[in-house]
Amino acid sequence: MRTASSRLIRLAPWLLPLVALIPLVALARGGGGEHYSRGSRDSGGDGGSDGLFYIFFRLIELVFYYPKIGIPLLIGFGIFWYFYKRNLHPTGATQRAIERREAEQRTRVAPQDVQAWVQALKSKDPQFELEAVLGKVRQLFPTLQEAWFKRELTPIRPFLSDATYQRFAVQLQLMADQGIRDAISDVRLLDLQLLGIEQSEWFDSIHVRVRAEMRDTDVPASFSDEKALAAARGAPVESFTEVWTFVRKPGAQTRMGQDLYQGKCPHCGAPYKGGATNACEYCGAVVNSGNYDWTLSEITQGIEFNRYLSDVPGLREARRDDPALNLESLEDRTSLLFWKWIEAQSRGDVNLLAQVAPSQMLSRLGDELSRLNQQGRRRVILECAVGAVTTRAFELHPDGDDLAHVEIRWSARMGVGPAGQRPPQLPTVPQRWVFTLARKHGAQTNTSNGMGTNRCPQCNAPLTGNGAASCEFCGARLGTGEQDWVLAATSLLETWEARERQRRMSGGGFPSPTPLQEKKPAVPEAFGGDAVMDVQDRERLLYMMAAIAAADGAVDASERKLLKLCATRWSIPWQNVEMALNSGESLFGKLIPRGSPEAAVFLRHLVQMALVDGRVDRKERRMLEAAAGHLDLRPQLEAMLRG
């Protein structure tokens, strides 16, 4: 017994770390799979991993001194490490598999639902056949991929709404600015499935699930098509799920064999040769308007697809003055304005917005770009993608301009870097902004344009983006909002919610903002009920919290430790949080002012995020107290926690 006891005493320095492993693993598990973030590919270096590496090296020592005990323990540790990394810290491949699984669940429908949708469309269009529409998607899919690969969008332009075309064009330009191009090969369409339809007085929409696979990689922009194709063939095959949304005006009828897919005008059936105007040279019909045939208006990643709709405050009242007002064309217009806004900042040319924004908006953005230019810096926006465009509310002003508030959820690698140099290393950051569109009260929606939202509201000619604030065809003044929606303001979600909260408290405005078009868990009334706590929002809030902390001065060791703990628990790469600490305001374009109403909204969002599991533990509370300190809101925190 004495011999065994003495051995245990000698082994104590090596065995004690194994005892400490129990609470260590519990912490890692609580902050791993439970707080999975699809925006993260690696968990970064967290305290749990550091502790496990320490145990590993102690076990190596144990193998040398006590091999009979150390070797079995080392083997057991190896087995544990494998499952720890697989289950708590999934690899990029594992996370992609999780995302594919979620996308499949979000896009699953019953056959009887599909039959009901088809019958609903056939009741208005007897010639409608689902298989014929899916056949068009099968034809468009490889054509679109080839156009993207060759960086030549002319072949697909007639099939895309103006906003979707603008999206592709700007994304290609951003990649060119970065000095890269997308190389793809072995594209294979696996499956198509009708997911649903939406019918309104102004548009019918159909959602089609597209399951496919391809090899995909980035290569230098100087690579020829042949060299890029060779590089792509060395990349692994990845499958993906997307939802393609097509829109068409109610009353439009299927014309068998007479549409763009057969090279004919969908209105008159004459040969269509294409062109920058997207108009038929015989009848003048705008072929991508959705007035005559299905037009691709949106491509959504399967993991982001939601079919739950919500009411929009103020929409009913707005339609009393403009009966043709519809969300389909409004949100397409907003998407168009968003991509023009991105392009103007990325290229440092505010005149790119001159035809779609009033002078006040151009002046504000121009001042910002001028300040950066004087400092020898530029705005860097890379890998920009939109997740959702959702109308939040309408605001009517009979004596002035009506306002439409549209939320855009997007992500990008965004920051500020030296002009003329390669972009700095930036994390991909989820963003939530509200775009406020303005239009003169009494102006009417032009239904003849349909989804052709990048056209002169007076003569219907396409806008060229030449920097002039007037139409080069008819001379009409543009960007004023007299006839069409223009971009009046952009703001962070918290800034917009704070302003609307104040309007409601003062007895003005409209009902509480509506959440995104998806089902969300109920939240306490104290938090306003309008914050959305999903995995991407959690990542956005942590990055913003880090940027705010850095902007307030030096971040001490204890605060960095708290941020690191949050990153671990919420499965966010610590290296990305560090980049947020170093990038500061440039990561978001602007930060929330201390002690402001929007700072209170931001803190409420943080509290709700901490309360997502029903309680706030000691370490989460310390994190919230640190955030409240940076925001000058310590007294308000207790009231928020009491809820």
SS3 for 91-152 is CHHHHHHHHHHHHHHHCCCCHHHHHHHHHHHHCCCCCCCHHHHHHHHHHHHHHHHHHHHHCC
| Edge-to-edge order in the sheet of strand 180-199 | 180-199, 204-220, 237-248, 295-301
User: What digits encode the pLDDT tens for the residues 467-505?
Assistant: 788 888 888 999 999 999 999 999 999 999 998 888 777
Say how far apart CA 363 and CA 214 lie, in whole Å. Answer: 44
| Edge-to-edge order in the sheet of strand 401-418 | 377-395, 401-418, 428-440, 486-492
User: What digits encode the pLDDT tens for the residues 530-550?
Assistant: 444 566 777 888 888 888 888
H-helix or E-strand containing 577?
helix 574-583
Q: Is 597 helix (H, G, I), strand (E, B) or coil?
A: helix
Q: Is 330 helix (H, G, I), strand (E, B) or coil?
A: helix
* Architecture, CATH, for domain 91-161+177-305: Roll (3.10)
pTM given for the model:
0.76
H-helix or E-strand containing 237?
strand 237-248
Say how far apart CA 231 and CA 214 lie, in whole Å. Answer: 13
Q: Quick one: CA dihedral 323, 324, 326, 330, positive or negative?
A: negative
Q: Which residue has the higher pLDDT, 21 or 578?
A: 578
Position 563 pLDDT exceeds 90: no
Report which DSSP code applies to 355.
T
Say how far apart CA 513 and CA 532 lie, in whole Å. Answer: 12
- Name the band, by pLDDT with cuts 50, 70 and 90, for residue 308: low
User: What digits encode the pLDDT tens for the residues 3-12?
Assistant: 444 443 344 4
The predicted pLDDT at position 422 comes to 62
User: What digits encode the pLDDT tens for the residues 184-228?
Assistant: 999 999 999 888 888 888 899 999 999 899 999 889 999 999 999
Say how far apart CA 202 and CA 251 lie, in whole Å. Answer: 10
Q: Where are the beta strands (DSSP E) in 266-318?
A: 295-301
Q: How far is CA 618 from the centre of its chain?
A: 32
Question: Residues near 513 by Cβ (< 8 Å), separated by ≥ 6?
Answer: 313, 392, 393, 405, 497, 500, 530
- Quickly count: other Cβ atoms within 10 Å of residue 570's Cβ: 22
Dihedral, CA of residue 525, residue 529, residue 535 and residue 539, to nearest 10:
-80
Say how far apart CA 76 and CA 66 lie, in whole Å. Answer: 15
Say how far apart CA 605 and CA 612 lie, in whole Å. Answer: 11
SS3 letters for 8-26? HHHHHHHHHHHHHHHHHHH
Q: Count Cα neighbours of 17 within 13 Å in the Cβ-side half-sphere.
A: 19
Residue 378: beta bridge partners? 417
Say how far apart CA 213 and CA 241 lie, in whole Å. Answer: 9
Question: Residues near 70 by Cβ (< 8 Å), separated by ≥ 6?
Answer: 14, 59, 60, 61, 62, 63, 64
Question: Residues near 625 by Cβ (< 8 Å), separated by ≥ 6?
Answer: 634, 637
| Residue 442 and residue 481 in contact, taking contact as beta carbons nearer than 8 Å | no
The predicted pLDDT at position 548 comes to 85
Q: Where are the domains of the chain?
A: 2-89, 91-161+177-305, 321-506, 525-642
The predicted pLDDT at position 391 comes to 93
The predicted pLDDT at position 42 comes to 39
Say how far apart CA 537 and CA 534 lie, in whole Å. Answer: 5
Q: Which CATH class is domain 321-506?
A: alpha beta
Say how far apart CA 122 and CA 456 lie, in whole Å. Answer: 34
Q: Six-digit token pair at 358?
A: 């009033």
- Examine domains 91-161+177-305 and 321-506 and report if their fold is the same: yes
User: What digits encode the pLDDT tens for the residues 242-293?
Assistant: 889 999 998 899 988 788 999 999 999 999 988 878 899 999 899 999 999 9
Question: CA 63, 68, 70: angle at the middle one, nearest 5?
Answer: 35
Say how far apart CA 312 and CA 332 lie, in whole Å. Answer: 16
H-helix or E-strand containing 67?
helix 67-87
Say how far apart CA 212 and CA 138 lie, in whole Å. Answer: 11
The predicted pLDDT at position 120 comes to 86
Q: Six-digit token pair at 189?
A: 């369409």
The mean pLDDT of the chain is 78
